Structure 1
Amino acid sequence: MPAPAPLAERVEFLMWVPPESSVSHVHEVVPDANVDLLLELSDERCRAVLYGPLTHTIHVPSRAGHGYLVVHFHPGAMPGLVDASPSELVNGFVELRELAGLSVDALGERLLAAGSPERMREELTALLSRVPYPPGDSFDRALRHLLARPEPLRPGALADALHLSTRTLQRAFKERVGFSPRTYTRIARLQEALSALREHPTRSLSEVAHRIGYADHAHMTRDFRELTGRTPSDFRTPSPSGRGLG
């Protein structure tokens, strides 16, 4: 599902896996700078988990007959749902008891009674709109600058381009994402390579590496091994791998 208009600056997308489509499976989730809110829905209860940004692969189980609603937030847009910073949630998660003052069980009842993904999105949007988010700051400027360039800048060059000190830039990324600009650009490039490998399965690995901005095929393979524990070729065939459930 596309992000609801009121939350478009904070939410990248929503994904709904209905109970009849879900299976018992362990999903591989590769490194990502985003934060996810995962809602697991069943007739017995609702479970809400906030997953932090990742610098290594984790595994998330799903159960057959349970519905899963995922809210995928933009990098640096972690909502104020817990008393923790992004750096404290890197490679971790927190199970929530309430969302914007509403108990998780009550939220589950509302979502199950909604009757359609669109109505679910409306219910969740109303709640998430009441949650505090980080204000625009140096991180937003840096992120826009990074996204506008075909290749990532070194942290010192990025700081100079934004007229910031390197320390200010490092602090902004640490506070908003949980890790350094260098780690962020490395993970963002990995995600871009993953998309290219899946969308263009016949393109050579050397060509993918060149288009994404790696020095060569060997550098891309090294990053894949260090960040995911797997090679680029392992991601040629679509699988449950990725962020969220799917």
Structure 2
Amino acid sequence: MSAPASLEERVEFLMWVPPEASVTHEHEVVPDANMDLLLELSDERCRAVLHGPLTRSIHVPSRAGHGYLVVHFRPGAMPGLVDASPSELVNGSVELREVGGLCVDALGERLLAAGSPERMREELTPLLSRVPYPPGDSFDRALRHLLARPEPLRPGALADALHLSTRTLQRAFKERVGFSPRTYTRIARMQEALAALREHPTRSLSEVAHRIGYADHAHMTRDFRELTGRTPSDFRTPSPSGRGLG
């Protein structure tokens, strides 16, 4: 589901898994720099959990018969839903009592009554619009620069390109995603390789590594092992992994 137009600079996408499609399962979530708001909906209650950026894989459970609405925020776009910094939420999560001033149980009732993903988005958008987001800073400049370049930049070269000190760049990333520019670019490259492996399952690991910017497939395999505990080949077939539930 596409992000609301008013929030598309902050929200990458929304995903809805209806109760009849959900199963009891442990879903693998691989490293990325994004925050996720996970809303678990059932007739009994609604749970809202904010998941922080990840430098390692985690497993998130789902329960059969429960609906799941995921709001996937863009890197560095941590909304002010909790009194915590991104660095405090790296590889962690926190359960919320309210979203945009509305208690979670009341939000759950509204979402269940909405009846369709589009109506759910309409219910959630004004609440998220009330939540403060971080103002644009050096991180936003750095992110736009990285997204516009096909090859990864080392932190020193990135700082030079933006006419920033390395310390300023490090601080900007720490404040917005919770970890260093080097860790961010490493995770972003792994995510790009992961997408390529799934989209083109017949390509050799060497070809994928070359296209993504790794020195060779051995370096790609090392990054995958260190970040996910698995090899690139393990991700060639679609599985319930990635951000959110699938």
User: What TM-score results when the alignment is normalised by the length of structure 1?
Assistant: 0.99
TM-superposed deviation, 1:245: 0.4
Displacement over 2 Å in runs of 4+: none
Alpha-carbon separation, structure 1, partners of 2:115 and 2:154: 49
TM-superposed deviation, 1:201: 0.5
Give a deviation string over 1:188-233, Cα, whole Å, max 9, x none: 0000000000000000000000000000010000000000000000
Partner of 1:140: 140
Give a deviation string over 1:59-101, Cα, whole Å, max 9, x none: 0000000000000000000000000000000000000001111
TM-superposed deviation, 1:115: 1.1
Unmatched 5+ residue regions in structure 1?
none
Alpha-carbon separation, structure 2, partners of 1:116 and 1:157: 47
Give a deviation string over 1:82-137, Cα, whole Å, max 9, x none: 00000000000000001111100000000011111110000001100110000011
3-state SS, counterpart of residue 129 of structure 1:
helix
The number of aligned residues is: 246
TM-superposed deviation, 1:151: 1.2
Give a deviation string over 1:132-156, Cα, whole Å, max 9, x none: 0000110000000011111111111
Partner of 1:47: 47
Give a deviation string over 1:33-73, Cα, whole Å, max 9, x none: 00000000000000000000000000000000000000000
User: What TM-score results when the alignment is normalised by the length of structure 2?
Assistant: 0.99
Structure 1 stretch displaced more, 39-48 or 111-120: 111-120
TM-superposed deviation, 1:185: 0.3
Give a deviation string over 1:226-246, Cα, whole Å, max 9, x none: 000000000000000111101
Alpha-carbon separation, structure 1, partners of 2:118 and 2:30: 28
Give a deviation string over 1:154-210, Cα, whole Å, max 9, x none: 111111110110000000000000000000000000000000000000000000000
> Percent identity at matched positions?
93
Alpha-carbon separation, structure 1, partners of 2:128 and 2:101: 11
Alpha-carbon separation, structure 1, partners of 2:176 and 2:24: 34
Alpha-carbon separation, structure 2, partners of 1:223 and 1:166: 24
Unmatched 5+ residue regions in structure 2?
none
Alpha-carbon separation, structure 2, partners of 1:194 and 1:4: 26
